[in-house]
Structure formats: structure tokens, C-alpha cells
Amino acid sequence: MAAPGEDDAQVEWLELNAWINWLRHTFGLSAGVIPPLWHRHPELIWELSALRQHWLSAYDPKQHGSAPIGWHRDFADAKQRLYDWVSACGTRLDSDRPTRQVAWPGEDPAPTVEESAITNRDEDFAQFVRDDIARRRAAEDAFYAQLAVDH
């Protein structure tokens, strides 16, 4: 049985993924703006999630009639930010690597990042969601276990 919130997270991931597919097809966006493994890069997740939330609000039937034009104006800005994020993080159409981190003086050296080929984007996304749900379940289990110990 799924813990509370796990089903919600899975639904949110699937809906975000479907919306991103709609967005990239509708607007003909290249992998330089939305790469296949966007879900492996927090900076892209945050930007795309915000853009989707903005779109949902702008196209709500109760919203002012000019709200969609505001979304399109903001979308133009977001496309440039997405392009910048993708350029910086190094993910591409056919390969991906974790976003490089820079260690500041006094910190442990940043781990070496390895590039890997993208062989099946949909399988990677499904595994990513399964792993995310498992992380959420483990965190919730640890939280409840700590409550039991404290009492």
C-alpha cells in the first residue's frame, strides 16, 4: 500500500511529464531548451514546474482574459533561462551527465561526473519516478520510526 503522498507525487510527475511533452511538441522546442532527461536536473525541474503552474493559472476559466498573453510573455523569458540551464548542465539529446558542482575552498572536492548515453528516455523517466517514490517512502518511514522512538 502506498504511503500518503506517494500517489500524489506519482500523479504530479506524470502530469508534469505529459505537459512538458505537449509544450515541446506544440511549440517545436529543441533539446537545447527541453532535453529528454530534464527530470534528472533539479534546475530544469524547478523552471518547468513553475512554468506549468503559471500556465495552469493563466488558462484557468476564472482567470482574467489577458492572463494567457502574460503567460506567453513569461514563456519567452523562461525559454531563454531553460536554454541557459541546459547549456550549463550539459544534458543533450543523446547523452546526459549530472550537473557539475563546484567545491568552494574548504569543501571536499566535487565528485567527478560521467556522461552516459540516453538509450530509452521513457524507461529512464519511469525508473526516476519509481526511485523518487521509494525515497519519499523511506523518508516517511524514518520520520514515523523516529516518532515511535521519541514516545
**pLDDT for the residue 15:** 98
**pLDDT for the residue 1:** 40
Q: Is residue 89 scored above 60 in pLDDT? A: yes
- DSSP-derived secondary structure letter, 119: S
The DSSP annotation for 51-79 comes to HHHHHHHHT-TTS-TTHHHHHHHHHHHHH
> How far lies 119's CA from each of 30, 36, 50, 66, in Å?
18, 11, 28, 42
Torsion of CA 50, 51, 53, 55, to 10 degrees: 160
**pLDDT for the residue 99:** 92
**64-73 pLDDT, tens per residue?**
999 999 999 9
Q: Is residue 88 scored above 60 in pLDDT? A: yes
Neighbouring CB atoms inside 10 A of 33's CB total 20
Q: Report the C-alpha gap between 7 and 95 in whole angstroms.
A: 30
Residue 132 grid cell: 523518487
**pLDDT for the residue 4:** 47
pLDDT band at 90 (very low <50, low <70, confident <90, very high): confident
Neighbouring CB atoms inside 10 A of 35's CB total 27
C-alpha R_g of the chain: 18
**pLDDT for the residue 143:** 87
**110-142 pLDDT, tens per residue?**
989 899 999 999 999 999 999 999 999 999 888
CA dihedral for 18, 21, 26, 29, sign (positive or negative): positive
CB distance 20 to 36 below 8 Å: no
**Ranges of each domain in the chain:** 6-150
